[in-house]
């Protein structure tokens, strides 16, 4: 999956709305999303716009094929396809939303869809098309259902998860076996110690600071049931943070990771500086493309504990002038047949229940790439969204800052987590 | 009241030719003695130049070498390896195959020309008026331009978008260029450049009956060519490198500028850094051309810009 | 008496003024209004009075950010006003290949942030170029934490800013040097003045106006630093966010769909007042020097 965090080149900010643009005090009803005004069985015809995120030019022929099939199936329809560049997508969608110009059907990850749904800018697709709730896997659907809002605000599209990747050469050098890698966090710590001790402190296994996902995995409850308070400053979370802290102080992790960016661990893995990273089913292809010398040295294994679930979906604008065609298009693009075809050209996975039995995803041809795909597919069954959608970018930043402060040894784990919860609550209340 | 009251100006240099303007002599005297460099000084200069070069050129070289590295070659090594082991130009061809580079470049060029033109005209007019004409409110206007440098610009991008959209310029290249067409910094640079022209030149021109426009065109402009080329460079690079603003203004991919279009080289599921590096190098070429061409003019102003009034 | 009609200057100034009002001043007024609200990027907001400004007083991170910004300015100011001038003098003389050098010195200004980050991490990380060399020379016993210590990270970012600024300010000086009377140099050279004396006695006074303008630009951009600290701190302001700058805080608060534009705008306004101080001081200095 692509990084959510890109490096802005200049000090350009995310967005303010002018008063002219949106008006203050327009926060009328935010209790529910928009109900569709047309019956989903209405005649599907006319023009409809469709926005994807960074699929051109690699998947141009795939997307065009799907669009053509749609136009053939529903004569009289015309789809305008827009593909937005990878960087700055949030800002682009934001400017579209604030100008009231969201395309009819838009690819939105769940955390983009939430604020738009809150402002009644997205349709509850389940109300228009009850089949949504039966055709798609639960993890995909729940990603588009939010605390405090009634409805499902997107058709789940493709799914992905993370698995572990190990550098077998580095494992062998310290007498470890990459074919039998650590399976729990404690085994990981033990292996990190061996890696450190046997290499005289020259090699590292781990290179990632813990985050909200790791707390979820350790059984920590992140948000209260009513979604109004953060609750992750528990003894379990403190204990986990203490373990990382001790490992960092003992030199088992590179010192500079305190200021590594989000995807720093996979970068260090590619550079051959560390022996472990996590990544999607497709990540192995990238490691080997960037550094071909890694070929044959990367061994995948299932993620420790519960794997994270990443969901992409197609949402329908509530301001769409052609809701019938928009809903039909979103459903068509995400149907089992089209998703399966998509998943066969890149390592992602369909969100439709019907695809679960496709042997393509569960049989490996023996290559590490294919192994990674099968592992990721098997992991999907138990994958869960580990990071609640209410955690905004700013909140996430503050939490990470406090975690790295604790790991650096400047404050205790308890102090850091208390501070992070206080700040997160404050931001949530705003 | 005198025409030029700006007190901050260099002392006019009375030299043996008696001209108030220190520039006059060079027309006769050429560059006597100034560009002759002793061999020892030459060595010292080149040593220093190479030293600074080593400090500054790193990112450029890395980018270049990455773009030339073969697909079978590691990019992210522990120690940066600058010489490609399997050099290839194939990534450049691949960039041209993947995206319509020429179309994007033409769009970028249109925006850049508008921005450069707007800045040269707008800021030299304003800079001239502010530095060489006395009028009520001059100080206030000058203060406004200065204040613009420190105005909070962090949260204004969407409100600019709304403005441009209200002008009916959303999804147009003109809309992309518009906000950057006159920059406060450039006005201040021009103001500063005009200010360093000795007052006596203006006085002489006024005696000869030159009006404001004639003084601007025949006296002012020729002597600030260096700064105009700096303004042009800044404006060009600003317009050429901008990513977020054109992304927000443009919806139609046919109108994308090069920086936005180059994003198509990095896809959702995987990137090839060699390809991206090649794309970046292509985008870099016009900047080099513009810079190398314009930096020649830094000194022309002095060499040719004598008084014609 | 006047030598121009009253409206002539205005005709020349109006286009630039119009741009300034529409594209700079108006959005800034908007920022001021937003700072009294709890606006979000979509869905608007309501007036909350001085609440955002009260919150600023208790913002521990803002204190770190302000301190960082001021240190940034104090260190950058002397370096970037003087070194690029020296550089401009160095590349001013026409020597074979000088165009190449001038262009090369300017490349850091346009280098992509991603590549700059990569290169600087190579130079500064625990096993990077600097630590490697220093250890070989025996200057240090263990690697210095350039990228993880609060203060070392700040100074690493400052060196990055200075490195990027060299070429930028160099070309402004280069154009200004064109205006310095060369006769003075020649006369002084004939009189036997050393190169250093010519630099301090002729070059510097000759570009004084430019120098003040550049000093203003440096202090403004140092106080508004963003990308260098962002890059080197992994986008997160370092442990505890103690290596944030004010602009990083503004970015952090305003990012995404749920951004807190009210608070971000209030931060913008604080930053405005902080940047005005050195600017006014330098402008005053300029006036004094000019009057003298």
pLDDT digit string, tens, across residues B74-91? 887 777 777 888 889 999
pLDDT higher at B7 or C288: C288
Of the candidates C38, C41, C224, which has its C-beta nearest A94's C-beta?
C41
Q: What is the pLDDT of residue C110?
A: 86
| Residue B293 forms contact with A (CB below 8 Å) | no
Q: Based on the number of CB atoms within 10 Å of its own CB, is A240 exposed (0-12), middle (13-18) or buried (19 or more)?
A: buried
Cα angle: B255, vertex B257, B260; to 5 degrees? 110
**How many contacts (CB atoms, under 8 Å) link A and B?**
125
- Return all residues near A172 (Cβ < 8 A) that are at least 6 apart: A178
Spell out a b/e string for B273-293, using b for 16 or more CB atoms within 10 Å of the CB, else e.
bbbbbbbbbbbbebbbebbee
Residues of chain C contacting A23 with CB distance shorter than 8 Å: 44
Give the chain B residue nearest A268 (alpha carbons).
B76
Mean pLDDT of B53-79: 86
Are A402 and C240 an interchain contact pair (Cβ–Cβ within 8 Å)? yes
| Residue B155 forms contact with A (CB below 8 Å) | yes
Q: What is the pLDDT of residue A239?
A: 96
Residues of chain A contacting B260 with CB distance shorter than 8 Å: 85
Answer yes or no: is pLDDT of C184 > 80: no
Answer yes or no: is pLDDT of B26 > 80: no
Please give the Cα distance from C30 to C54 (Å, whole number). Answer: 20
Closest Cα partner for C175 from B232, A240, A224? B232
Token pair 């400053």: residue: A233
Are A88 and B76 an interchain contact pair (Cβ–Cβ within 8 Å)? no
Please give the Cα distance from A335 to A354 (Å, whole number). Answer: 9
Residues of chain B contacting C268 with CB distance shorter than 8 Å: 152, 154-155
| Residue B301 forms contact with C (CB below 8 Å) | yes
The model's pLDDT over A203-227, given as tens digits with 9 standing for 90+, comes to 999 998 999 999 999 999 999 988 8
Residues of chain C contacting A30 with CB distance shorter than 8 Å: 43
**How far does CA C17 lie from the centroid of its chain?**
24
Mean pLDDT of A226-254: 94
Are C41 and A410 an interchain contact pair (Cβ–Cβ within 8 Å)? no
Mean pLDDT of B245-256: 91
Of the candidates A23, A259, A411, which has its C-beta nearest C234's C-beta?
A259
Q: What is the pLDDT of residue A230?
A: 95
Query: Smallest CA–CA separation between A221 and chain B, in Å?
Result: 31
Q: What is the pLDDT of residue B207?
A: 87
Sign of CA dihedral C90, C91, C96, C100: positive
Of the candidates A115, A264, A430, which has its C-beta nearest C38's C-beta?
A430
Residues of chain A contacting B245 with CB distance shorter than 8 Å: 12
Are A82 and B253 an interchain contact pair (Cβ–Cβ within 8 Å)? yes
Answer yes or no: is pLDDT of B20 > 60: no
Of the candidates C30, C46, C235, which has its C-beta nearest A5's C-beta?
C235
Are B76 and A270 an interchain contact pair (Cβ–Cβ within 8 Å)? yes
The model's pLDDT over C28-53, given as tens digits with 9 standing for 90+, comes to 888 999 999 988 887 778 899 999 99
pLDDT higher at C246 or A35: C246
- Return all residues near C50 (Cβ < 8 A) that are at least 6 apart: C36
Q: What is the pLDDT of residue A2?
A: 36
Answer yes or no: is pLDDT of C80 > 50: yes
Are B243 and A286 an interchain contact pair (Cβ–Cβ within 8 Å)? no
Query: Smallest CA–CA separation between A115 and chain C, in Å?
Result: 6
Answer yes or no: is pLDDT of A33 > 60: no
* A-interface mutation test, from C51, C236, C238, most A Cβ less than 10 A away: C236
Q: What is the pLDDT of residue A305?
A: 86
Q: What is the pLDDT of residue A7?
A: 30
Q: What is the pLDDT of residue A238?
A: 96
Answer yes or no: is pLDDT of A376 > 70: yes
Answer yes or no: is pLDDT of C87 > 90: yes
Phi, psi (degrees; rounded to nearest 5) at A308:
-75, 150
Give the chain B residue nearest C270 (alpha carbons).
B152
Q: What is the 3-state secondary structure (H, E, C) of chain B?
A: CCCCCCCCCCCCCCCCCCCCCCCHHHHHHCCCCCCCCCHHHHHHHHHHHHHHHHHHCHHHHHHHHHHHCCCCCCCCCCCCCCCCCCCCCHHHHHHHHHCCHHHHHHHHHHHHHHHHHHHHHHHHHHHHHHHHCCCCCHHHHHHHHHHHCCCCCCCCHHHHHHHHHHCCCCCCHHHHHHHHCCCHHHHHHHHHHHHCCCHHHHHHHHHCCCCHHHHHHHHHHHHCHHHHHHHHHHHHHHHHHCCHHHHHHCCCHHHCCHHHHHHHHCCCCCCCHHHHHHHHHHHHHHHHHHHHHHHHHHCHHHHHCCCCC
Please give the Cα distance from C215 to C224 (Å, whole number). Answer: 14
Mean pLDDT of C152-157: 94
Q: What is the pLDDT of residue C35?
A: 92
Query: Smallest CA–CA separation between C75 and chain A, in Å?
Result: 21
On whether the CB atoms of residues B133 and C8 are closer than 8 A, the answer is yes
Q: From residue B108, how far is each of B28, B94, B251, B258 by CA, in Å? A: 43, 20, 15, 6
pLDDT band for C292, please (50, 70, 90 cuts). Answer: low
- Omega before residue A57 within 30° of 0, cis: yes
On whether the CB atoms of residues A400 and A417 are closer than 8 A, the answer is no
Are B229 and C185 an interchain contact pair (Cβ–Cβ within 8 Å)? no
Query: Smallest CA–CA separation between C268 and chain B, in Å?
Result: 5
Of the candidates C16, C177, C220, which has its C-beta nearest B123's C-beta?
C16
* Residue A163 parent element (H or E): strand A163-167
* Residue C262 parent element (H or E): helix C261-291
* C-interface mutation test, from B154, B203, B290, most C Cβ less than 10 A away: B154
Q: Which two tokens stand for residue A320?
A: 């769409």
Are A15 and C234 an interchain contact pair (Cβ–Cβ within 8 Å)? no
Residues of chain A contacting B79 with CB distance shorter than 8 Å: none
Of the candidates C39, C237, C254, which has its C-beta nearest A24's C-beta?
C39
Least confident of A54-58, A327-331, B227-231, C217-221: A54-58
Q: What is the pLDDT of residue A34?
A: 59
Mean pLDDT of C229-245: 88
Q: What is the pLDDT of residue A347?
A: 80
Answer yes or no: is pLDDT of B35 > 80: no
Closest Cα partner for A155 from A127, A188, A176, A115? A127
Are A394 and C253 an interchain contact pair (Cβ–Cβ within 8 Å)? yes
Residues of chain C contacting B54 with CB distance shorter than 8 Å: none
pLDDT band for B269, please (50, 70, 90 cuts). Answer: low
Are B37 and C108 an interchain contact pair (Cβ–Cβ within 8 Å)? no
Q: Which residues 202-261 on chain B approach chain C with CB closer than 8 angstroms?
A: 206, 211-212, 216, 223, 226-227, 229-230, 233, 237, 241
| Residue A289 forms contact with B (CB below 8 Å) | yes
Token pair 């990095």: residue: B266
Q: What is the pLDDT of residue A69?
A: 96
* Residue A402 parent element (H or E): helix A393-407
Least confident of A2-6, A263-267, C285-289: A2-6
Residues of chain A contacting C132 with CB distance shorter than 8 Å: none
Residues of chain B contacting A82 with CB distance shorter than 8 Å: 251, 253
For chain B, which chains pass the contact test of at least 3 CB pairs under 8 Å? A, C
Q: Based on the number of CB atoms within 10 Å of its own CB, is C30 exposed (0-12), middle (13-18) or buried (19 or more)?
A: buried
Query: Smallest CA–CA separation between B255 and chain C, in Å?
Result: 23
Count H helices and E strands in chain A, helices first: 19, 8
Answer yes or no: is pLDDT of C82 > 90: yes
The model's pLDDT over B129-169, given as tens digits with 9 standing for 90+, comes to 999 888 889 999 999 999 888 887 777 787 888 889 889 99
Q: What is the pLDDT of residue A71?
A: 96
Q: What is the pLDDT of residue A35?
A: 61
Of the candidates C3, C104, C171, which has its C-beta nearest B230's C-beta?
C171
Mean pLDDT of A189-199: 94
Q: What is the pLDDT of residue C290?
A: 65
Q: What is the pLDDT of residue C15?
A: 94
Query: Smallest CA–CA separation between C66 and chain B, in Å?
Result: 15
| Residue A291 forms contact with B (CB below 8 Å) | yes
Mean pLDDT of A45-68: 93
Q: What is the pLDDT of residue A346?
A: 84
Q: What is the pLDDT of residue B18?
A: 36
Least confident of A23-37, A130-144, A205-219, A264-278: A23-37
Which stretches does DSSP call E strand in chain C? none
Are B159 and C283 an interchain contact pair (Cβ–Cβ within 8 Å)? no
On whether the CB atoms of residues A50 and A331 are closer than 8 A, the answer is no
pLDDT higher at A112 or C94: A112
Residues of chain A contacting B161 with CB distance shorter than 8 Å: 95, 99
Residues of chain A contacting C148 with CB distance shorter than 8 Å: 255-256, 258-259, 408
Q: What is the pLDDT of residue A409?
A: 92
Are C268 and B152 an interchain contact pair (Cβ–Cβ within 8 Å)? yes
Q: What is the pLDDT of residue C2?
A: 59
pLDDT band for A389, please (50, 70, 90 cuts). Answer: confident
Least confident of A161-175, A211-225, A260-274, B272-286: A260-274
| Residue B98 forms contact with C (CB below 8 Å) | no
Are C236 and A401 an interchain contact pair (Cβ–Cβ within 8 Å)? yes
Are B266 and A293 an interchain contact pair (Cβ–Cβ within 8 Å)? no
A34 SS3 class? strand
Please give the Cα distance from B284 to B288 (Å, whole number). Answer: 6
Give the chain C residue nearest A28 (alpha carbons).
C43
DSSP assignment letter at A204 = B
Mean pLDDT of A314-337: 94
The model's pLDDT over C240-280, given as tens digits with 9 standing for 90+, comes to 889 999 999 998 888 878 888 899 999 999 999 999 999 88
The model's pLDDT over A329-360, given as tens digits with 9 standing for 90+, comes to 999 999 999 999 999 888 889 999 888 788 88
pLDDT band for C193, please (50, 70, 90 cuts). Answer: confident
């Amino acid at each position: 999956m692509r990084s959510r965090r890109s490096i802005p080149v200049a000090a350009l900010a995310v967005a303010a709305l002018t008063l002219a643009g949106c008006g203050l005090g327009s926060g009328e009803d935010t209790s529910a999303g928009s109900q569709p005004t047309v019956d989903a069985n209405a005649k599907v015809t006319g023009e409809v716009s469709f926005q994807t995120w960074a699929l051109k030019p690699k998947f141009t022929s795939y997307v065009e094929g799907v669009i053509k099939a749609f136009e053939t199936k529903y004569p009289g329809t015309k789809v305008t396809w827009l593909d937005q560049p990878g960087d700055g997508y949030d800002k682009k969608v934001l400017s579209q939303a604030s100008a009231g110009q969201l395309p009819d059907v838009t690819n939105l990850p769940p955390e983009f869809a939430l604020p738009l749904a809150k402002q009644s800018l997205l349709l509850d697709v389940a109300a228009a098309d009850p089949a949504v709730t039966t055709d798609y896997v639960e993890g995909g659907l729940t990603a588009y259902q939010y605390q405090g809002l009634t409805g499902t605000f997107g058709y789940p599209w493709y799914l992905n998860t993370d698995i572990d990747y190990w550098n077998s050469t580095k494992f062998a050098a310290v007498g470890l076996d990459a074919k039998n890698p650590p399976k729990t966090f404690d085994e990981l710590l033990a292996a990190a110690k061996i890696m450190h001790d046997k290499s005289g402190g020259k090699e590292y296994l781990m290179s990632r600071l813990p985050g909200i996902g790791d707390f979820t995995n350790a059984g920590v409850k992140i948000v209260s049931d009513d979604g109004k308070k953060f609750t992750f400053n528990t003894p379990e979370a403190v204990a986990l943070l203490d373990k990382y802290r001790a490992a960092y102080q003992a030199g088992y992790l590179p010192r500079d990771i305190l200021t590594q960016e989000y995807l720093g661990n996979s970068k260090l893995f590619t550079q051959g500086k560390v022996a472990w990273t996590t990544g999607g089913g497709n990540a192995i292809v990238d490691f080997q493309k960037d550094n071909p010398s890694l070929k044959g040295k990367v061994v995948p294994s299932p993620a420790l504990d519960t794997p994270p679930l990443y969901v992409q979906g197609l949402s329908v604008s509530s301001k769409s002038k052609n809701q019938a065609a928009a809903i039909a298009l979103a459903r068509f693009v995400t149907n089992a047949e089209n998703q399966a075809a998509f998943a066969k050209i890149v390592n992602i996975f369909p969100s439709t229940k019907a695809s679960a039995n496709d042997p393509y995803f569960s049989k490996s041809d023996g290559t590490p790439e294919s192994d990674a795909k099968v592992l990721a597919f098997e992991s999907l069954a138990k994958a869960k969204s580990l990071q609640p959608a209410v955690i905004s970018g700013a909140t996430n930043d503050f939490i990470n800052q406090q975690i790295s402060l604790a790991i650096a040894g400047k404050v205790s784990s308890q102090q850091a987590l208390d501070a992070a919860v206080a700040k997160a609550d404050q931001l949530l209340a705003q | 009241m005198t025409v030029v009251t700006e007190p901050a100006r260099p002392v006019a240099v009375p030299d043996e030719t008696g001209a108030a303007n220190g520039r006059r002599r060079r027309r006769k005297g050429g560059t006597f003695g100034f560009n002759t460099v002793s061999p020892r000084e030459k060595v010292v200069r080149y040593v220093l130049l190479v030293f600074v070069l080593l400090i500054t050129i790193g990112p450029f070289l890395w980018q270049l070498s990455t773009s030339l590295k073969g697909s079978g070659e590691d990019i992210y090594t522990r120690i940066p390896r600058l010489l490609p082991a399997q050099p290839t130009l194939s990534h450049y061809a691949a960039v041209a195959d993947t995206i319509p580079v020429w179309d994007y470049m033409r769009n970028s060029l249109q925006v850049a020309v508008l921005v450069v033109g707007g800045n040269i005209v707008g800021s030299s007019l304003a800079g001239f008026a502010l530095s060489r004409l006395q009028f009520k409110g001059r100080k206030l206007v000058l203060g406004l331009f200065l204040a613009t440098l420190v105005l909070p610009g962090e949260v204004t991008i969407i409100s600019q978008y709304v403005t441009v959209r209200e002008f009916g310029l959303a999804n147009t290249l003109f809309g992309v260029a518009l906000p950057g067409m006159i920059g406060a910094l450039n006005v201040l640079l021009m103001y500063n450049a005009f200010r360093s022209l000795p007052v006596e030149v203006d006085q002489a021109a006024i005696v000869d009956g030159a009006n404001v426009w004639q003084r601007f065109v025949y006296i002012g402009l020729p002597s600030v060519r260096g700064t105009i080329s700096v303004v042009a460079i800044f404006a060009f690079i600003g317009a050429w490198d901008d990513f977020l603003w054109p992304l927000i203004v443009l919806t139609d991919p046919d109108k994308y500028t090069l920086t936005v279009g180059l994003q198509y080289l990095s896809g959702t599921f995987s990137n090839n850094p060699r390809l991206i590096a090649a794309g970046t190098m292509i985008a870099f070429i016009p900047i080099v051309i513009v810079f190398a061409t314009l930096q020649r003019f830094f000194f022309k102003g002095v060499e040719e810009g004598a008084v014609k009034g | 008496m006047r030598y121009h009609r009253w409206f002539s200057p205005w005709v020349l100034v109006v286009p630039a003024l119009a741009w300034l009002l529409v594209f700079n001043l108006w959005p800034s007024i908007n920022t001021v209004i937003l700072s009294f609200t709890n606006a979000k990027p979509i869905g608007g907001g309501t007036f909350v009075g001085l609440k955002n400004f009260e919150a600023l007083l208790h913002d521990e991170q803002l204190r770190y950010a302000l301190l960082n910004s001021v240190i940034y300015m104090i260190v950058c100011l002397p370096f970037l006003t003087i070194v690029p001038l020296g550089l401009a003098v160095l590349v001013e003389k026409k020597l074979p290949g000088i165009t190449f050098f001038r262009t090369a010195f300017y490349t850091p200004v346009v280098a992509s942030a991603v590549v700059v980050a990569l290169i600087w991490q190579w130079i500064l990380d625990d096993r990077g170029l600097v630590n490697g060399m220093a250890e070989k020379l025996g200057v240090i016993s263990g690697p210095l934490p350039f990228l993880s210590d609060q203060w070392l990270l700040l100074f690493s970012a400052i060196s990055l800013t200075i490195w990027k600024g060299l070429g930028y300010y160099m070309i402004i000086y280069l154009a200004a040097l064109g205006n310095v009377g060369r006769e003075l140099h020649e006369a002084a050279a004939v009189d036997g003045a050393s190169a250093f004396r010519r630099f301090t006695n002729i070059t510097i006074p000759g570009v004084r106006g430019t120098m003040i303008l550049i000093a203003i630009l440096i202090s403004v951009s140092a106080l508004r630093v963003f990308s260098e600290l962002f890059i080197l701190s992994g986008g997160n302001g370092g442990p505890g966010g103690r290596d944030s700058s004010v602009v990083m805080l503004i970015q952090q608060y305003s990012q995404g769909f749920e951004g807190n534009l009210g608070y971000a705008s209030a931060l913008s306004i604080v930053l405005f007042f902080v940047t005005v101080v050195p600017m006014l001081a330098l402008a005053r200095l300029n006036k004094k020097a000019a009057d003298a």
